[in-house]
Structure 1
Amino acid sequence: MGWKLVLANPLRFGLYPAMMPFGTQYGHFPLPTFGRQDDSWAGVAPQIEILVGHNHRESAYFLPKPPSTLGKVARQVYETLVARGTQDIYRRPAEHFAHRHRATGGKATTYLLRTGHPLNHLSGAHCTELGLLSADPAWQGDNLLAGLNGDELEHQGAVLRAIWAEFARSGNLLHELASQARIELG
C-alpha cells in the first residue's frame, strides 16, 4: 500500500495518516522492500543507539487556536485534540519504534521535551526544539517560543544541545542535566 492510497482515503486509513504523508518509503535505497523491514531493522539494531521522542504538545502546531470568545469549553476541546494528536502521531509511534529497536537487541531511549511558556497556545508545538538547538537570536520573539525571555531560551537550549551532542558523540545521556533542559528521558 503506497502513501497515495492513504491520502486518497482518510476515512479508511484514518485522519492522522492522511495528514502526515511524509516518512520512510520502503523499497527505496537504503531501505528494504515493504514487508521485510522488521528483519532488516533487527539485523542492524544491535549496532545502533537511538534517542527518539517528541515535544509535549506537538500537534498544537497544526490546530488553530480557538477564539477566546468561545470560552473555557472550547479551550478544553482544543487541549484534548492537541493531546490526542500528539499521542497518536508522535508519542505512540516513537515508543513503538523504541520498543521494536530494544526487542531486536538495540539500545533506545525515549524522551519528552517541554518547551515554551504555558500561556502560549503553541507551547511545546512541533518544531519548537529547533529554536533551542540552533542558538540563533532570530528565534527570540518567534510565535513558537513566545513568552520565554532570551535567557530562558539560551539556558534551555545550551543544556539540550549538550545532552544531544554527548549522545551523538558517545551514546551516553547526561541525565543530570535533564531537568534544566526540561526533557524527560525514558
Structure 2
Amino acid sequence: MVLSDTTTIKTPSGPCVVLKDDNIILARGIPYAQASRFQQATPLPAWTEPRDCREPATTSPQLPSRLESVLGPISANRRIGEDCLNLSVVAPANAGHAPVMVWLHGGAFISGSGDLDCYAPVDLARDHGIVCVNVSYRLGVFGYLMIPGIAPANLGLLDQRAALQWIQANIASFGGDPGRVTAVGQSAGADSIVCLLASDDTEGLIHQAILMSPPLKEIRDRIPTIDLLAHQAAGLLTADPREMSTSELLDLQRAILMNPVRPQIMPFGPALGHHPLPGESELHSRLIGRLKNVPIMIGWTEHDGRPFARWMGPFRSLYNLPVVGRFLESLGTWWVTRSFFAWPSDAFRKQVEEDAGGSATSYQFKWYPEGNGLQANHCIDIPFVLGQPGAWRGAPMLMGPTKSDDEFGKLGRHMRLLYGGFIQGRRLKPGHLVVTKDFECSGSLWQ
C-alpha cells in the first residue's frame, strides 16, 4: 500500500497529517494516551501543531515471536520503544457515520503490534466502508507483570481501555460512528476483548465483538500465575526495575519464559481480581449482564493448537519417536485445540445465547494449503480478513505445493463479506459455520 498525497484531519486531540488517495485515508502512530514505565495510562494533552502521522508506529519492546515458524518475521525491522501507546486508522475517503472496527492484535501478550503491515485493514475500509482502528499496547513485563509496590497488574488492558475511550472522543473526525464500534481480536486480542467486556468503566465502548481463536481457558488459568510470576521475577531481579534499561527488562522476560512456572499458552495477560477486572466469582455475572446487548461472532481453526502442542500437549515428550511420534503429536494438537479453543469457545457461544439472551454465531476455519504440515493452525484465518497479499508472502502456514492464489482470493473475499457484514450491523443466524475452500457468504447466513 503506497500513498503519497497528504491531508490534515482535525480531531479533538489535535490536528493529524495523514496519507490519502481517492479511496482511503491512512494515519499511523496517533498517540491515544501517555504512560511512564509501570504507570497507568492517562489522557494525553491536546496538541495544537499538526502531528505527522505518516510513518510506521513504534512497537512495544518485545522478543522474537514464538510463532515465527508459522507466520514468518512479521515484526522484523520495526522500531520498538516504551512510548508505544498509539493507534493507526484506515478510513474510507469521505466517510460519514461509518461503522468502526477496532483491531486488537494477538501474540500471547508478549509480541506483535497493531500497526504491522500484515494487519492493514485496507480491503475492509475501501470495499466495505468501515473505519478501521488498529491499537498497540504494552506487552510482557511492561504491560502484564505485577511487581508489588512498583507495577500494578493489567497495565496493557488499561492501555486498551484508554484507546477505546480515545476512539469514542475522536473517531468521528475520520468519519466513524462512535456508537457502532465492533472490537475484533485474535488470540490474545480476543482474550482482551472478553476481559474488556468484564472490566470497570467500559460500558458503551464496545457494541459488538468478533473473537478469533480466543484461548478462553487461559483467563481463569492465569489466576494463580500472576503471583507466581511476581515471585519468580523478584528472585531474578538484581536492580530496581524502574531504573533498568529496556533491554535488561527484556532479558528478565526471557528468563521468565525459559523457566515457566506453569505450562500455559499465555503466562502473561490480564489478571482477574486486579483493577479493572472483577474477581473470578463475579466474572460470569459481569459478562452476562453485558453480553445481552453485545452481538458476538466467535471462531477457531481446525488445528488451532498445533503451534502449542510442542510445549502443551500431553504426549510432547514422545513426539520424536519413530512411527508413533507423528500420531501422538496429532493427538496432542487435537487435545490443545479442543481444550483451549474449541470447547471453551462453543461454551461461550451458548453462554451468550442461553444465559445472557444475546446473539452469537460461531465458525470453524478448516482451510489450509494442501500438503502443508502446519494444517489449519493458529492464525491462519487472519490473512483472509486483514493485510495486503504481499504482507503475508513467505508465511510458512500459507505455503504448499497445491496452494491456489485463485482459491485463496475467493475465500478471502467471502471471509471479508462475513466480517464486513457483521461489522456493518447485519445479524447472522444463530448456530455454527464451517469454513472450507468452498465457503460462500451468501444471503442465507443472515437473519
Could you say which TM-score interval applies, normalised by the shorter chain?
Answer: 0.7 to 0.9
Q: Residue by residue, what CA displacement relative to the aligned partner does 1:146-167 show, whole Å, maximum 9, x if unpaired?
A: 1222212111111111111111
Give the SS at the match of 2:367.
Answer: coil
Q: Which residue of 1 aligns with 2:295?
A: 49
- 2:307 maps to 1:61: yes
Q: Which residue of 2 aligns with 1:104?
A: 356
The TM-score with structure 2 as length reference comes to 0.35
Q: Structure 1 residue runs of 4+, over 4 Å off?
A: 5-9, 174-179
Checking the alignment, whether the CA contact within 8 Å between 2:299 and 2:345 is kept in structure 1 is: yes
How many Å apart are 1:126 and its aligned residue? 0.5
Q: Would the alpha carbon gap of residues 136 and 56 (structure 1) be closer, same or farther in structure 2, given more than 3 Å must change?
A: same
Q: Would the alpha carbon gap of residues 129 and 176 (structure 1) be closer, same or farther in structure 2, given more than 3 Å must change?
A: closer
Higher relative contact order (CA 8 A, sep 6+): 1
Greater percentage in helix: 1
Q: Would the alpha carbon gap of residues 53 and 74 (structure 1) be closer, same or farther in structure 2, given more than 3 Å must change?
A: same
Alignment of 1:24-173 (within 5 A): 24-26=270-272, 27-29=274-276, 31-63=277-309, 70-71=322-323, 73-102=324-353, 103-138=355-390, 139-147=392-400, 148-173=403-428
Unmatched tracts of structure 1, length 5 or more: none
Q: Would the alpha carbon gap of residues 176 and 24 (structure 1) be closer, same or farther in structure 2, given more than 3 Å must change?
A: closer
Checking the alignment, whether the CA contact within 8 Å between 1:49 and 1:106 is kept in structure 2 is: yes
Q: Which residue of 1 aligns with 2:49?
A: none
Q: Would the alpha carbon gap of residues 5 and 80 (structure 1) be closer, same or farther in structure 2, given more than 3 Å must change?
A: farther
Checking the alignment, whether the CA contact within 8 Å between 1:115 and 1:145 is kept in structure 2 is: no
Greater percentage in strand: 2
**CA distance in 2 between partners of 1:173 and 1:35 (Å):** 31
Q: Please say which structure displays the higher CA radius of gyration.
A: 2
Checking the alignment, whether the CA contact within 8 Å between 2:365 and 2:434 is kept in structure 1 is: no
Q: Would the alpha carbon gap of residues 153 and 28 (structure 1) be closer, same or farther in structure 2, given more than 3 Å must change?
A: farther
Aligned partner letter, 1:3: T
How many Å apart are 1:5 and its aligned residue? 4.9
Aligned partner letter, 2:295: E
Q: What value does the CA root-mean-square deviation take over the aligned residues? A: 3.1
Give the SS at the match of 1:78.
Answer: helix
Aligned partner letter, 1:41: L
Q: Alignment identity in percent?
A: 22
Unmatched tracts of structure 2, length 5 or more: 1-222, 230-259, 311-318
Aligned partner letter, 1:168: I
Q: Would the alpha carbon gap of residues 59 and 178 (structure 1) be closer, same or farther in structure 2, given more than 3 Å must change?
A: closer
Residue of 204, 213, 225 corresponding to 1:3: 225
**CA distance in 2 between partners of 1:22 and 1:108 (Å):** 28
